[in-house]
Amino acid sequence: MQLFEGFIRMIGMGRRPRIHFSGAVYHAMAHGVAGQDIFLDDTDRELFLDDLHRLVRDSGASLLAYCLMGNHFHLAIQVGAIALSSIMQRLLTRYAKAINQRHGRKGHLFWGRHEANLCTDEKYLAALIRYIHLNPVKAGLVTKAEDWPWSSSAGKPMPEDPAGDIDAFDPWARAEETRPSLIRHPRIDLPGIDELGEDISARTGIQVSELRSKACRRPVVAAKRLLARVAVSNGHTLIAIARWLKMSPATLTRYAKSESENSGMPDTI
């Protein structure tokens, strides 16, 4: 727990941390500047969805649920190798440019960067998807979620909610105590740390035995940092990485790199 919290503090850099690992599931949303609409007509919504589905496909992500409202949208998305921040940045930038050009407007369309919450358990995810689909019902736009054409629930009857009142659900709840058991659906072909170590050794010329030693020469430290970043990007826990490198958890937190330095294509093999 202390290791994970140390890593979170390190990658914060004055902003809420953007945690990334392959298979992570997020609730993401963005809204218009000063509450203004971001979807002015159905063509806007079609443009947005076309770009969203294209980016999801190209990035290897999976779209679990979505809903487009007037001045905001919600997504439940499982990422692959490419971080959510990279996907969202491309989506919002492309869409804003298209809308400004189409409607002859200028300036920012979205209010700051997107919001994102890491889903920590399956129960939260199930409630989140139901919450997303019920947005137009709560707004009084339709009486049934499946009647809203701009969500992944369109045409699909909403299942009964075994948990009860959805109004009690907080989509932005941050249960600190659940962090060690984050939802993680790694790829079947996830490389092991041994395999990653061999790859880093081949790339850097640093022997595996030296990677796993207490050597502190600059090239060795750089190779260890690279291994830590690669292993995290491939879904391995910090504890497992620290054990493989035969170093203390505190030392590993100094080697790990922030996601902000690796928000594009992570170092996978």
Q: What residues contact 58, with CB distance under 8 A and at least 6 apart?
A: none
Both 35 and 65 in one domain: the answer is yes
Looking at residue 166, which CATH number applies to its domain?
A: 3.30.70.1290
- Among 168, 144, 145, 139, which residue's Cα sits nearest to residue 72? 139
Both 136 and 205 in one domain: the answer is no
Report phi then psi at 163, rounded to 5: -85, -15
* Cβ-count burial 30-67 (b if 16+ within 10 Å, e if not): bbbeeeeebbeeeebbebbeebbeebbeebebebbbbb
The domain total for the chain is 2
pLDDT in tens, 92-112: 999 999 999 999 988 889 987
DSSP state of 257: P
pLDDT in tens, 241-261: 888 998 887 777 666 543 334
Q: Is residue 103 part of a domain?
A: yes
Mean pLDDT of the chain: 78
Query: Where does a domain end: 119, 146, 181?
Result: 181
Look up residue 208 and give its two tokens: 């595996």
Both 166 and 221 in one domain: the answer is no
Q: Is residue 10 part of a domain?
A: no
Query: Where does a domain end: 147, 181, 215?
Result: 181
Q: Residues 224-229: what's their mean pLDDT?
A: 84
Both 30 and 158 in one domain: the answer is yes
Q: Is residue 98 part of a domain?
A: yes
Asked if residues 263 and 235 have their Cβ atoms less than 8 Å apart, the reply is: no
- The model carries a pTM of 0.59
What's the CA gap between 146 and 41, in Å, rounded? 20
CA distances from 122 to 26, 89, 145, 185, 207 (A): 12, 27, 21, 11, 41
Q: Residues 70-92: what's their mean pLDDT?
A: 91
Above 50 in pLDDT, residue 224? yes
What's the CA gap between 186 and 23, in Å, rounded? 5
